[in-house]
């Protein structure tokens, strides 16, 4: 999917919601355990109930990997029931030397046809570039993450006289590898005070924003500071939507939770998007 | 496996060789393609031919992940035929927020019983600590990698007046999370000139050293600069050993290639290890 197509979906659905499919086998509603593949059945019903309210789904790959080979089968089946107009993000945080990153790119872009994959920047150019070779596919590079550990290295200041933080150097350097048509960035909603610094370096790129909800970030704050002319935001919510209920009504309640966020996003788009 | 036990194996085998199981289905000897699981059969024969010459095996997880669910089955079967006294490293470069890293730790330490997993440091403390909770298991943290992209961020100098590089800060900060009994570090053989800086910060830790052979690093150089009283080195070789021949004699030729490295290591241990 291209950046233009993603923006069209945002306008059509009045939403920039990304739903995190962090599907934990231990948190599934009891009645799903009778299905042959409970994880897939859970995802299928969540997707059916919410696909008109969101523009992206983001399976957290660890949840599937922790289930062994069966987890990868559930993931593949999940991908197949996501409507083609919804952007897909493999939240895998991969990244290795060139010939190895090529294999990860093959796993997520060819074998599984994801639209994008999250990538860690520590190993530099040749660990990221193999993910940038296919049109309509995106790297979502870690820049400033939502967790406490983001302080350890991402917020270190560099000696080059620029007074910049490491995450700004990551943004700047990565612009030599790709552009807004094949790179997005992870910027946590808990980092709203730094979003203007992000936008100075990558004004046009989409930001994938985790950390609203369970981690304490504010949707309104991150939207006011981070939105650009094409919205440029995908705000992720996982637990607050997919685990809104653990009963028979889990999909219905997930829809209600997603609808509440979509309504808030609709208002923010009206307020902030320069037409 | 504990650090002491690993050192005992090094003394016993007179080797600190780690063999990389970067098993590419496209590079298998033709005659293996008749087996039900050619990747496993290749690994099984390589392990049988080399297990007395090396102290560690390091499957590169991307090679298995790129084969879909079957790849994980091949990986699991491979692990089961590695003798218990040989250290195992899941070269996965994982790392995510705390609750997600917990799941990756479960995947590699519980479901698959690896002794260690490689982890990327960019997301900081809470992305690494979940891998440090089990005795006899190790994080192998990326510090200074062997690839060209290591220059992009790992070699940035910090503004704190210390004249230190980012990789040194990674080493220093990570010492607050664990110690030589549960953390090792990736330091590329191509980075020999910086190994003394590494040893200043982590004198006792094992270093996992890729980059000898195909990538151009020197075994003698990295050994002279990096060896400590318990050897403290695991030097990886993959392609030069496992693809020594693509014919019927692949396992025999792999053994010859591993034997040549083991002999060189035996001489280096005699020269350098302070008895």
Complex ipTM: 0.96
A145/B contact by beta carbon, under 8 A: yes
C-alpha–C-alpha distance, residues B9 and B56, integer Å: 10
C-alpha–C-alpha distance, residues A208 and A79, integer Å: 19
Q: Which helix (H) or strand (E) holds B93?
A: strand B87-94
| Mean pLDDT value across residues B202-225 | 92
Q: Given a cut of 70, is residue A21 above it in pLDDT? A: yes
- Determine whether the interchain pair A127/B106 forms a contact, defined as Cβ–Cβ distance below 8 Å: no
Residue A54 and residue A18 in contact, taking contact as beta carbons nearer than 8 Å: yes
C-alpha–C-alpha distance, residues B151 and B165, integer Å: 10
- Determine whether the interchain pair B70/A70 forms a contact, defined as Cβ–Cβ distance below 8 Å: no
From A259's Cα to the closest Cα of chain B, the distance in A is 26
- Which chain A residue has its CA at the smallest distance from B60's CA? A100
- Which chain A residue has its CA at the smallest distance from B166's CA? A153
From A104, A160, A163, residue closest to B62, measured CB to CB: A104
* pLDDT band for position A206 (cuts 50, 70, 90): very high
pLDDT of residue B213: 76
* pLDDT band for position B217 (cuts 50, 70, 90): confident
| Mean pLDDT value across residues B222-240 | 96
Residue A214 and residue A193 in contact, taking contact as beta carbons nearer than 8 Å: no
From A98, A111, A158, residue closest to B147, measured CB to CB: A98
- Determine whether the interchain pair A149/B128 forms a contact, defined as Cβ–Cβ distance below 8 Å: yes
- Determine whether the interchain pair B95/A62 forms a contact, defined as Cβ–Cβ distance below 8 Å: no
From A69, A107, A156, residue closest to B73, measured CB to CB: A69
C-alpha–C-alpha distance, residues B98 and A60, integer Å: 13
From B73's Cα to the closest Cα of chain A, the distance in A is 6
Which token pair is B237?
């070789």
DSSP chain A: --HHHHHHHHHHHT--EEEEE---GGGS-GGGGGSSSHHHHHHHHHHHHHTTT-SEEEEBHHHHHTTTHHHHHHHHHHHHHS-TTSEEEEEEEE--SHHHHHHHHIIIIIIS--SEEEE--TT-HHHHGGGGSSTT-EEEEEEE-SSGGGGTTTTPBBSSSS--BHHHHHHHHHTTT--TTTEEEEE-GGGGGGHHHHHHH-SSS-EEE--BSTT-B-HHHHHHHH-BTTB-EEEEE-HHHHTS-SSTTHHHHHHHHHHHHHHHHHHHHHHH---
Q: Given a cut of 90, is residue A214 above it in pLDDT? A: no
| Mean pLDDT value across residues A87-91 | 98
pLDDT of residue A215: 78
| Mean pLDDT value across residues A220-240 | 96
pLDDT of residue B214: 72
Task: Summarize pLDDT for B56-88 with one digit per residue, the tens.
Answer: 999 999 999 999 999 999 999 999 999 999 999
Q: Given a cut of 90, is residue A224 above it in pLDDT? A: yes
* pLDDT band for position B160 (cuts 50, 70, 90): confident
CB burial readout A3-14, b (16+ within 10 A) else e: beebbebbeebb
Task: Summarize pLDDT for A98-113 with one digit per residue, the tens.
Answer: 999 999 999 999 999 9
- Which chain B residue has its CA at the smallest distance from A186's CA? B123
Residue B153 CA: distances (Å) to CA of A122, A140, A157, B84, B122: 6, 18, 12, 37, 10
Burial (CB count within 10 angstroms: exposed 0-12, middle 13-18, buried 19+), residue A164: middle
B223/A contact by beta carbon, under 8 A: no
From B66, B104, B106, residue closest to A103, measured CB to CB: B66
Q: Given a cut of 90, is residue A37 above it in pLDDT? A: yes
Q: Given a cut of 70, is residue A12 above it in pLDDT? A: yes
- Which chain B residue has its CA at the smallest distance from A104's CA? B62
Residue B111: its chain A contacts at CB < 8 A? 66, 68
- Determine whether the interchain pair B149/A126 forms a contact, defined as Cβ–Cβ distance below 8 Å: yes
- Determine whether the interchain pair B97/A160 forms a contact, defined as Cβ–Cβ distance below 8 Å: no
From A94, A123, A147, residue closest to B98, measured CB to CB: A147
| Mean pLDDT value across residues B43-51 | 98
A162/B contact by beta carbon, under 8 A: no
- Determine whether the interchain pair A70/B69 forms a contact, defined as Cβ–Cβ distance below 8 Å: yes
- Which chain B residue has its CA at the smallest distance from A210's CA? B97
Residue A166: its chain B contacts at CB < 8 A? 153, 156, 166
- Determine whether the interchain pair A107/B65 forms a contact, defined as Cβ–Cβ distance below 8 Å: yes
- Determine whether the interchain pair B69/A73 forms a contact, defined as Cβ–Cβ distance below 8 Å: yes
- The mean pLDDT of chain B is 96
pLDDT of residue A275: 57
pLDDT of residue B76: 97
- Determine whether the interchain pair B97/A146 forms a contact, defined as Cβ–Cβ distance below 8 Å: yes
- Determine whether the interchain pair B121/A122 forms a contact, defined as Cβ–Cβ distance below 8 Å: yes
| Mean pLDDT value across residues B162-181 | 96
Q: CA angle, corner A3, sides to B149 and A208, nearest 5? A: 60
Task: Summarize pLDDT for A137-176 with one digit per residue, the tens.
Answer: 999 999 999 999 999 999 999 988 888 999 999 999 999 9
Residue B157: its chain A contacts at CB < 8 A? 158-160
Residue A145: its chain B contacts at CB < 8 A? 97, 122-123
> CA-based Rg of chain A, rounded to a whole angstrom?
18
C-alpha–C-alpha distance, residues B84 and B64, integer Å: 21
* pLDDT band for position B205 (cuts 50, 70, 90): very high
Q: Which residue ranges form the domains of chain A, and what is each CATH number?
A: 3-272 (3.20.20.70)
- The mean pLDDT of chain A is 96
Residue B127: its chain A contacts at CB < 8 A? 147, 149
- Which chain A residue has its CA at the smallest distance from B105's CA? A66
User: Within the 114-133 window of chain B, which residues sit less than 8 Å (CB to CB) from chain A?
Assistant: 120-128
Task: Summarize pLDDT for B12-33 with one digit per residue, the tens.
Answer: 999 999 999 999 999 999 999 9
pLDDT of residue B275: 57
Q: CA angle, corner A69, sides to B133 and A112, nearest 5? A: 110
């Amino acid at each position: 999917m291209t950046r233009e197509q993603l923006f069209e979906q945002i306008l059509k659905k009045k939403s920039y919601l990304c739903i995190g499919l962090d599907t934990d086998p231990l948190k599934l509603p009891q009645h799903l355990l009778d299905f042959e593949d409970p994880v897939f059945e859970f995802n299928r019903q969540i997707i059916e109930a919410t696909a008109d309210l969101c523009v992206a789904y983001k399976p957290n790959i660890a949840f599937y990997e922790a289930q062994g080979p069966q987890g990868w089968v559930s993931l593949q089946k999940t991908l197949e029931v996501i409507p083609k107009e919804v952007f897909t993000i493999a939240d895998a945080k991969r990244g290795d030397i060139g010939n190895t990153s090529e294999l990860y790119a093959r796993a997520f872009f060819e074998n599984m046809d994801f639209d994008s994959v999250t990538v860690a920047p520590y190993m530099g150019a040749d660990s990221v570039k193999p993910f940038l070779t296919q049109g309509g596919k995106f790297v979502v590079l870690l820049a400033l993450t939502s967790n406490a550990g983001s302080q350890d290295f991402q917020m270190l200041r560099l000696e080059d006289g620029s007074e910049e933080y490491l995450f700004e150097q990551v943004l700047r350097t990565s612009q030599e590898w790709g552009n807004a048509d094949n790179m997005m960035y992870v910027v946590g909603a808990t980092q709203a005070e730094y979003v203007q610094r992000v936008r100075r370096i990558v004004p046009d790129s989409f930001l994938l924003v985790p950390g609203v909800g369970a981690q304490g970030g504010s949707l309104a704050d991150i939207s006011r500071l981070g939105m650009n002319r094409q919205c440029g935001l995908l705000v992720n919510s996982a637990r607050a939507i997919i685990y809104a209920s653990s009963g028979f009504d889990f999909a219905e309640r997930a829809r209600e939770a997603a609808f509440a966020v979509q309504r808030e996003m609709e208002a923010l788009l009206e307020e902030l998007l320069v037409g």
